[in-house]
Structure formats: C-alpha cells, structure tokens
Amino acid sequence: MEKKNLSQQMGSFPLRFWMINCVEFLERFSYYCMRSVLGLYIVAPAKNGGLDLSQTDKGTIFAIWALVQCLFPIFSGGISDRYGYKKSLLVSFILNAIGLMLMSVAREYWTFVFACILVAFGCGIFKPPIQAMLSHSLDKENYSLGWGIFYIVVNMGGFISPFFASYLRSYSWQYVFFFSTAMILLACPCLLLLESPQKKTQPNKSLQEIAKDFVLLTGNFSLLCFLLIYSVFYIVLMQVWDISPVFIDQWVESNHIVRWLGNLTGMNFFQEAASQGKNIPPELMSNLNTLIIILFTMPIAYYFGKLKHLPAMAWGMFFCALALPLCGFSREGVWCLFGIAVFSIGEIACSPKFSEYISFIAPEDKKALYLGFAQIPFAFAWAAGSVFTGWLNDRYSDIYALSSRHLISVLHVSQEEIAKIPRSEWLKTLAEKLGMSIPKTKDMLWETYYPPTVWYIIAGIGFLSILAMVLYNNKILRIKDK
C-alpha cells in the first residue's frame, strides 16, 4: 500500500488526538514556566529573592527530582493501564499544584526539596498515561507524524512559557510559581472533554500480574542495553537544559545582540536595554532550542519516518555532542546561540524517535508499562549527571566558586575570612582586591580557569554514547540477518 502524503496523514487524526495535545500543552506550559528559571532561582542571591544555594546543592535537588520523576513511572505506567488514564492525569495535576504552591513559599532547603518531590511525583504520573493515550490514537500510517506533532506541542509550551517566567520573575520569583499553578489547574477541566481510548487489550490485570510484567521486562537484555546506552546520552541532554541558563547568566555577553536587535527593529525597548548594558535573559537565550524545534520538527519527523529508529537517534546524538563545545567557545552570545541551534537539530532527530521506538516495540496492552519502564534513562542519567555536573560546575565554571578559589590560592585570603562573606559577594570582593572592574575580573577568571571545560567533558560522554549506539545497531542488524 502506498504511504499517505502529509495532508492525508494530517486528516487521519481523530479528535481525541488533538485533545490529548491540548492537555499536554497546558501541563508542559506549567512545567517549563517554572523549570526554565528554577536553576537560576536556586543559585540566585537571597537579597534578590533567590535561595542562594551552590551549584552542588542545585545538582543534588535535581538528582532527587530525577529519581522520583523518572523511576516512579516504571510502576505508575502499569497501574495507569489498569485503573484508567484520566484518573492518573487528575492525580498528577493535583500533586503538581500542591507542590508548586509550596515551592513558592519554601525557604528552608529540605522544605523546598519536599515541594520539588511533590511536583516530581506529579510529572512522573503524567507522562505514561498521556503518551499511551496518544499511542492508542495513532495507526501505522500516521505514527511518526503523530509523535512529531506531539513533540511540537511539548515545545510550544516550552517556548512560550519562558517569556512569561522572565517577565514575572522581574517582579517576584513567587509569581512564577503562582502562574505555573494556575496553568496546571486549567488543564483539569480539559479531562472532562478527553475521550478515553478504546484499548484492544485483555481484561484488566491484577497488581501482581503488573509486577510480574515489570520483572519480565528486566530480563529483556536487548531492551536493557538500549536503555543503558541512551541513559549515557541523557547525561548530555539533560545537563544542557539544567546548567546552560546559569552558565549563560554568569559568563555569556549578549548585549551586542540586544544592540543589533535595536538597530534592526528600531524599537526603543531594545535600544534602551542596549544602552543600559543589559544582556538577553538566559532563559530566553536557551529558548532558541524550542523555537527551532517548533519550526523544524514536523518536516524532519516526516522525513525520519522513512528511516530506521536507531541510525536516526545516532545522528541526532552526534549533533548534540558536537554542539556543546560551541556553547562555550567564546563569551560572545552569538557562539552560544549557534551551539544551541546545532544542539536543537540533533535533539529533533533523536528525542521523538526514542519514545516512538519504545512505543513501537511494546505490545498493545503494555504500552504505558513499556513507556514507564523506559524512564530509567532519565532517572539514572539525570540524577547521576546532576550530582556530577553540580560538582563539575563548582570546580570549573561557577563564577562565585572560582572567585573564592582565586581569593584563597592566589591572593592568600583565609578560608575563615571567605566564610564571613556572603557567597554572592565573592566576585565583588575579588574585583575590589584586584583593583579591577567586574567585567575585567570576569575576563581574568575566564582566561585563568577556562569555564567551558565543563562542556568539553560532557561532550566526551556524549561521543562515548554515540559509539555504543552504533555498535548496538550493528548487533541488532546481525541478529535480524540471522
């Protein structure tokens, strides 16, 4: 049978498919509004309303978040198959709303961690049922395009929400959490309009049978190898989202881009910002990633629908790893944006293919279970990567940690004296002792300690995962040939 063209595939989607995408958009809008600035909030000075924690503290929080959000779906996916997707989504929204409100008022470390855990539970419950509902709404003809559209919707929420977050945090960090709560609550009425799919499954299984299915999955050696390889790559993928906003905020100079925008558009907003020496907010620079994904995912998803899953993922992984050194090649914002653009192309090629591949190989009645089990790469890579890169950033790239190191090792300031100075004042203290301006002090730290080292280390991990994926693909091909 001849494959349907693009317009025919677009017309083949049922109404349920579009409602699923509406719910996904609202949930992702809420999540990314908060998440796009969360790293900045955690390390922001207390005098500016932030938590004033270190990069290592941030990494630990993200690691705990990762373990909860990504391991819980291993169990919740199978339970969603049994008790219903819509009920699971409602529980997810309630937990998210409670957690976000608590994050807005939490000032103590462990109270904030608890709030993050609630949101992580909510996010962990959400993904398997919404993806399973999507999978049941597609057929073999529109499968790749359907997942591509779904991925665009995810990134539409991710693209629009940082603009709201950037505006709201200029008034108060708490407004970001309030707004995210409102968006997740707005998704609740949509569940009433969301038709549950007619699943071609056997009668509902008991919890014991669900647990048995899970144990059987752990014996699937080929699946486990694939997940292990992809988990190594996710150390690269997840850490770019987690550490790039703080890196951009501390090191990247984008005022020349603001000035160029002012000259190009003639808008007073850009011209005044340029004259005041302002940079583009880091969450908006990172947002180029989602803009490129929105613009180019559909044609690329349609094209890659004709190709095999594993080679497509390997090429995407290659572009992602190649992009990381570009992000830190220079302090000039143009280079950072170029690196983000290259990274985005790689992400388009590999990320949708991951979920599509897992859903494609899953039995009809175990799609949510497989998709939940597939969260293992997110869990261990995000958690281990967060702890590792938290330490890595404090050692190689955090501007306050490097200022403290220079004060101690070069200027011989005692650690006791450093401890008396607020962390957010270490850079200013260093500049004063050197008799230099803040910009000149930043230049000196860049040349002395070369903060982009973190990007080269993470890129090396990415290239190792690419090699493993190529070897895995060749092994699969040899098995099929036999």
What's residue 416's pLDDT? Answer: 92
CB 352 within 8 A of CB 303: no
Taking the model in full, what pTM does it have?
0.83
Whole-angstrom distance, CA of residue 391 vs CA of residue 3: 50
Q: What is the pLDDT of residues 21-41, one digit of tens each?
A: 999 999 999 999 999 999 999
What's residue 482's pLDDT? Answer: 47
What's residue 478's pLDDT? Answer: 62
Among candidates 342, 300, 335, which has minimal Cα distance to 317? 342
Q: What is the pLDDT of residues 109-125, one digit of tens each?
A: 999 999 999 999 999 88
Whole-angstrom distance, CA of residue 401 vs CA of residue 247: 13
Which residues lie across from 156 on neighbouring strands? Answer: none
User: Which whole-number Å values give the CA distances from 336 to 263, 265, 286, in the listed order?
Assistant: 21, 22, 9
Whole-angstrom distance, CA of residue 317 vs CA of residue 118: 31
What's residue 5's pLDDT? Answer: 64
Architecture of domain 15-192+206-397+452-481: Up-down Bundle (1.20)
The amino acid at 23: V
Cβ–Cβ contacts within 10 Å for residue 425, how many?
14
Report the alpha-carbon angle 82-87-92, nearest 5.
115
What does residue 332 show for φ and ψ, rounded to 5 degrees? -70, 130
The amino acid at 385: G
What's residue 295's pLDDT? Answer: 86
The two tokens of residue 165 are: 């977050």
Among candidates 322, 354, 274, which has minimal Cα distance to 458? 322
Task: Render 337-378 in DSSP notation, one character per residue.
Answer: HHHHHHHHHHHHHHHHHHHHHHHHHS-GGGHHHHHHHTTHHH
Among candidates 171, 17, 31, 32, which has minimal Cα distance to 96? 31
CB 349 within 8 A of CB 305: no
User: Which whole-number Å values give the CA distances from 137 to 14, 18, 124, 134, 147, in the listed order?
Assistant: 7, 10, 21, 5, 11
Residues 6+ apart with CB under 8 A from 132: 77, 80, 81, 85, 367, 368, 371
The two tokens of residue 343 are: 């990274």
The two tokens of residue 480 are: 């099929």
What's residue 62's pLDDT? Answer: 92
Among candidates 220, 245, 238, which has minimal Cα distance to 67? 238
Residues 6+ apart with CB under 8 A from 70: 124, 375, 376, 377, 378, 379, 382, 383
Whole-angstrom distance, CA of residue 360 vs CA of residue 481: 20
The two tokens of residue 425 are: 């004042």
The amino acid at 201: T
Residues 6+ apart with CB under 8 A from 251: 328, 331, 397, 399, 442, 446, 451
> Hey, where are the domains in the chain?
15-192+206-397+452-481, 399-449
Residues 6+ apart with CB under 8 A from 470: 314
Residue with tokens 């339970």: 79
Whole-angstrom distance, CA of residue 14 vs CA of residue 419: 62
Q: What is the pLDDT along the chain (482 residues), one digit of tens a residue?
A: 556 666 666 767 777 888 889 999 999 999 999 999 999 999 998 888 999 999 999 999 999 998 998 888 777 767 777 777 888 899 999 999 999 999 999 999 999 999 999 999 999 889 888 888 888 888 777 777 787 788 788 888 989 999 999 999 999 999 999 999 999 999 888 888 777 666 554 455 566 766 676 677 766 777 788 888 888 888 888 777 788 899 999 999 999 999 998 888 888 888 888 888 889 999 999 999 889 888 887 777 677 667 677 788 888 889 999 999 998 888 999 999 999 999 988 888 887 778 777 877 777 767 767 776 777 767 877 888 889 989 999 999 999 999 999 999 999 999 999 999 988 899 999 999 999 999 999 999 999 999 999 999 999 999 998 998 888 877 765 655 44
The amino acid at 266: G
Residues 6+ apart with CB under 8 A from 326: 335, 336, 338, 339, 342
